[in-house]
Amino acid sequence: GAGVSQSPSNKVTEKGKDVELRCDPISGHTALYWYRQSLGQGLEFLIYFQGNSAPDKSGLPSDRFSAERTGGSVSTLTIQRTQQEDSAVYLCASSSGLAVPYNEQFFGPGTRLTVL
């Protein structure tokens, strides 16, 4: 498909377990963003990638959260020792990253994470 894809669609895990969430951006998009949508916090920015580097990771809530991007394409968001407050929908978006006034972000369908 031509859009942003994310897997899994839903993930249920037990408190204390590690989880990996995957994002496949639109082909050729150099910029990639992770956002978290939770009941208490609304929709918040987590991390931004340009290529394989992350110049802005200011939104990661704790050192249990990390993300990487390889080959300028797929990105993985890892949450270690999950807590119940990590339960949320994790959204990924990508954009062309070209030097234009702004770059529209295209969103994936998200991964709903439930920590029991």
Partner 1 sequence: AQTVTQSQPEMSVQEAETVTLSCTYDTSESNYYLFWYKQPPSRQMILVIRQEAYKQQNATENRFSVNFQKAAKSFSLKISDSQLGDTAMYFCASLSGNTGKLIFGQGTTLQVKP
Give the binding site for partner 1 (CB under 8 A): 31, 33, 35, 42-45, 48, 55-56, 59, 89, 91, 93, 95, 97, 101-105, 107-110, 112
In the chain, where do the E strands start and end?
5-7, 10-13, 19-24, 31-38, 42-50, 53-56, 65-69, 75-79, 88-95, 106-107, 111-115
Q: Say if residues 59 and 67 touch (Cβ distance below 8 Å).
A: no
Residue 79 or 88 having the CB closest to partner 1: 88
Of 35 and 65, CB closest to partner 1: 35
Tokens of 26: 């639109």
Shortest approach of partner 1 to residue 113 CB, angstroms?
13
CB 113 within 8 A of CB 11: yes
Q: How far is the CB of 102 from partner 1 (least distance, A)?
A: 5
The contacts of residue 102 (CB under 8 Å, 6+ apart) are none
Smallest distance from the beta carbon of 56 to partner 1, in angstroms? 5
Nearest to partner 1 of 46, 115 (CB atom): 46
Q: Toward partner 1, which CB reaches closer, 25 or 108?
A: 108
